[in-house]
Structure 1
Amino acid sequence: MLENKSQFQKRLSFLMELRTQGPAATAFTILALQLLLPLTIFITIISIFKNISCNKKKNKKPDFKGTILLTGGKMTKALQLARLLKRSGYKIILAEDKKYRASGHAWSNCVDSFYLLPSLSEGYFVYEKTLLRIIEEEQIDLMIPVASPVSVYVDAKFKKNIGSRLKIFHFTEDELLCLDHKYNLCAKARELGLASPDVHLIKSRRELELFDFDDTKKRYVLKSLVYAPIERLKRPLLPFDEQNEYFSSLTISPDRPWVLQEFVSGREFCTHSTVHEGKILLHCCCESSEFQLRYKHVDNKDIYNWVETFVKAMNLTGQISFDFIVNERGEVMPIECNPRTHSAITAFYNSECVADSYIKPEITQLSLLEPCFPNKEAKETYWLYHELWELFKCRSFGQIKNQLKLIFFGKEAILDSLDPLPFIMVYHWQIPSLLIQALKSKASWIRIDFNIGKLVEVDGD
């Protein structure tokens, strides 16, 4: 369904009114999650018994193939990779920032060891020293960063410093300068003959004030090039009458540049691709929106061809995800690139080809170089308590029906009958622990990102 400008403005007016949650809301959320624990346990038990009744034979334990270090241990996408890699014969070491020491994924039977990493605020060399110790102690063969928007750069620096001593499935620092930069991304796409929205690099408030919106006849969205979890929720459609007041509230400088990006109306999609030396080895594409947190693969050849052309031209190796909008003319327009793992990888929950996509192609069979896609029978993945909250907000029978259909016939992203504890521990240990931290420190937060396993905080990661 296409989103017109009035719909977009209505959505933005809601976003601009986002309020931080106070102590009362925090305490209520903690209590609510604990009261829902019996429901989670009941669902877990049903899932286990259903699996026992449907699967009479035991799967043979795969031969040991090596040891893999995964970072980003608080996130569901890290858990998903851990499960898929473990069941393919790898020993899994999971690591995460010490802020998330209560990670529910540490309880997974697909995680052999869980390590805490120093906060990035402690400096790069402390981070590097800790990683090197883990790599030596656990005899790591491969590191796959499941990076945050901030740590993606730190992991690239670590890859450069460690050199050939360890295989790290991640982009280089130079590649990130293009991929994780909305202006450079669109400029590179145009250079390759690919469609992209009109973009302008903004390094001062004066440049914004002098920009002739009337001359272009286009609408724009202003985006920070420095990651800001709250800013990305507040992006008014330009131009509008009070825009100078909006501009004055922004911190804009050569050290903190912004990009003025053409607003594109159309259908939104997100993708995740695992690529090696410019070849796509794994790919999924899902319909997306600002409010949607659910993933089911859709076959879109135009988007696949866009990604294939881009990664081949840049000869990329790593995990890359894009946000696209297909406009009214059918053009695939990149909105942004996230050079890291996407939560859409949960669409591969029942796939057996994921592990081979992350192993260096020259040590695999040629047949494994064919792209891996989610299974056709894979259900739409979702996060239970996010969708229950959405159900609570439904205002029509149709909305309620759709939510219940998803909950009963989709696939809960964390729930796994062969690995049941994370489903309980994330919702009733990890998230409550973060809420208690926020209560003690009086930290402000906007919402809970269950898929990332964090609170969206004003100065968060």
Structure 2
Amino acid sequence: MSTRSGKNVLITFGRSFLTLELARLMNAGGHNVFIADSMRFPISRFSNSVQKVFRVPRPKFEPREYVDEIARLVHAESIDLVIPIHEETDILAMAQDQFPPECELLLSDFLTENRLHNKFEYQVLLDGLGIPTLKYAQVRSEEELTALDFDRPFALKQVYSRGSQEVYKVNPGEVPEGLAFDPLNPWLAQEWLKGEKYCTYSVCHRGKIYAHTVYPVRYAINGQSCLTFEPIIHPGIDEWVAQRVKEIDFTGQIGFDFIEHPDRGLYTIECNPRSTSGILMFEPHNRVDRAFFGDNDEVIRPDPDARKMLGPGMLLYGWRKSALEGNTLRGFARDYRRTDEVISQRDDIGPLAGIPLAMGNILLNSMRYKVGLAEGFMHDHEWDGQQI
């Protein structure tokens, strides 16, 4: 056991660059960092900011075994705080009674987590709070799909889905053929609105924000999953997020996706009640680790001139036309050169050297589950509404 004076922190989903960055930030704050993942070689394994890495069962396919192992690690390593990163958050939320009271799980109760995660239930929640929403409907069958009464284009996506998965843009009277209908994971039809897109990231305890940032959507995988991150100040979004977090008494990490129309104003599209890429913009001197324990008085924000990117993602997707409206190779090269890559750090070069092994694991996952590379990255940590 380490003799460092900080807390013992267990972070899940060790393959994620978000986990790697959070491990570095926690380590810089003096805490002892432990990592859990179902892969043998998650990128965080190679970081000198990590004390130990544990291989655990796959939460999507072995949820009970996953919870049992995380609970065992909490006892064995005297963990003070568990920080879930991806959709294993929902699974852990269903099993909070298995953890000792002296260990905090940075998440909310399962009902809250699920209402925010489920894209249809999230819109229902907003309706109940009196928040304007884009027109929406749940679609559970071919009959409901053909009966939709949208008079303008709409998005069609499953209620449990994530940025790597397909979103259909559907024109009125034209419906996609061959859709599969899963009773546990129906579809959401949501009005398609053009406008400026923004994402947020916040760390919260009991309805209060302790760290927060807003960033515009620029380079992104098919316009969905951001590849570059630059913080901005948007008072309207700041106020909106603070009010919603307070109303639902939220604890954990949370991100909202917004679209702002010049005439109709601001709408939230969906919510991610877990870690998002906003964490990548914080630096050690920001001391965002304090927010995870609720130790700060003022809301912690990243430096206003922060410019970060996911280097491997930019090289794979950022140069494509679909990554940015009006994208050119010259513009891509310019932006790539002037943006800081989040994996490479002079005092922690292990993750850069470990990329081939980490990517090899993801490729094996893609082959094993017969999914694309982006989905293979997270497939065994997804949660689509199943009870454990």
TM, length-normalised to structure 1: 0.74
Q: Counterpart of 2:286?
A: 352
Q: Counterpart of 1:387?
A: 314
Shift of 1:350: 4.5
The 8 Å contact of residues 445 and 456 in structure 1, kept in 2 or not, is answered as no
The 8 Å contact of residues 186 and 334 in structure 1, kept in 2 or not, is answered as no
**1-side partners of 2:187 and 2:56: how far apart?**
31
**Cα 1:354/1:393, change in 2 over 3 Å:** same
**Structure in which a larger fraction of residues adopt helix:** 1
**Cα 1:199/1:131, change in 2 over 3 Å:** same
2:344 partner amino acid: L
Q: How many equivalent residue pairs? A: 373
Shift of 1:348: 0.8
Q: Counterpart of 1:342?
A: 276
**2-side partners of 1:337 and 1:277: how far apart?**
18
Query: Quick check: 83-92 or 124-133, which moved more?
Result: 124-133
1:233 aligns with 2:166: yes
Shift of 1:438: 5.0
Shift of 1:204: 2.5
The 8 Å contact of residues 117 and 160 in structure 2, kept in 1 or not, is answered as no
Question: What is the aligned counterpart of 1:435 among 360, 363, 366?
Answer: 363
The 8 Å contact of residues 169 and 192 in structure 2, kept in 1 or not, is answered as no
Please state whether the residue corresponding to 1:222 is helix, strand or coil. Answer: strand
**Cα 1:329/1:229, change in 2 over 3 Å:** closer
1:273 aligns with 2:212: no
Q: Counterpart of 1:85?
A: 26
Q: Counterpart of 2:158?
A: 224
1:117 aligns with 2:56: yes
Q: Counterpart of 2:348?
A: 419
Question: What is the aligned counterpart of 1:107 among 46, 63, 68?
Answer: 46
How big is each residue's C-alpha offset from its partner over 1:68-125, in whole Å with a ceiling of 9 and x where there is no partner? Answer: 111110001111111111111110001111xx21112101110000001112355333
Shift of 1:219: 2.5
Shift of 1:63: 5.8
Shift of 1:430: 0.7
1:409 partner amino acid: R
**Cα 1:316/1:456, change in 2 over 3 Å:** closer
**Cα 1:350/1:166, change in 2 over 3 Å:** closer
Q: Counterpart of 1:446?
A: 372
What does 1:55-204 correspond to in 2, within 5 Å?
Answer: 64-97=5-38, 100-120=39-59, 123-147=62-86, 149=87, 151-162=88-99, 164-204=101-141
Q: CA RMSD in A?
A: 2.7
Shift of 1:271: 1.0
**Cα 1:327/1:398, change in 2 over 3 Å:** closer
How big is each residue's C-alpha offset from its partner over 1:231-278, in whole Å with a ceiling of 9 and x where there is no partner? Answer: x3241223244x2xx2x5223354332221111110111111111111
Question: What is the aligned counterpart of 1:209 among 134, 146, 149?
Answer: 146
Query: Quick check: 250-259 or 195-204, which moved more?
Result: 250-259
**2-side partners of 1:181 and 1:397: how far apart?**
33
**Cα 1:403/1:252, change in 2 over 3 Å:** same
Question: What is the aligned counterpart of 1:369 among 297, 318, 327?
Answer: 297
The 8 Å contact of residues 94 and 115 in structure 1, kept in 2 or not, is answered as yes
**1-side partners of 2:282 and 2:117: how far apart?**
25
The 8 Å contact of residues 281 and 371 in structure 1, kept in 2 or not, is answered as yes
Shift of 1:169: 0.6
Query: Quick check: 250-259 or 87-96, which moved more?
Result: 250-259
**Cα 1:152/1:456, change in 2 over 3 Å:** closer
TM, length-normalised to structure 2: 0.87
Q: Counterpart of 1:285?
A: 214
Shift of 1:315: 1.0
Please state whether the residue corresponding to 1:115 is helix, strand or coil. Answer: strand
The 8 Å contact of residues 32 and 51 in structure 2, kept in 1 or not, is answered as yes
**Cα 1:433/1:131, change in 2 over 3 Å:** closer
Please state whether the residue corresponding to 1:164 is helix, strand or coil. Answer: coil
Q: Can you give the 5+ residue segments of structure 2 that lack an aligned partner in the other structure?
A: 383-388
**1-side partners of 2:47 and 2:185: how far apart?**
40
Identical counterparts, % of pairs: 23
What does 1:22-61 correspond to in 2, within 5 Å?
Answer: none
**2-side partners of 1:63 and 1:199: how far apart?**
51
Please state whether the residue corresponding to 2:91 is helix, strand or coil. Answer: helix
Question: What is the aligned counterpart of 1:251 among 170, 180, 198?
Answer: 180
The 8 Å contact of residues 58 and 381 in structure 2, kept in 1 or not, is answered as no
The 8 Å contact of residues 391 and 400 in structure 1, kept in 2 or not, is answered as no
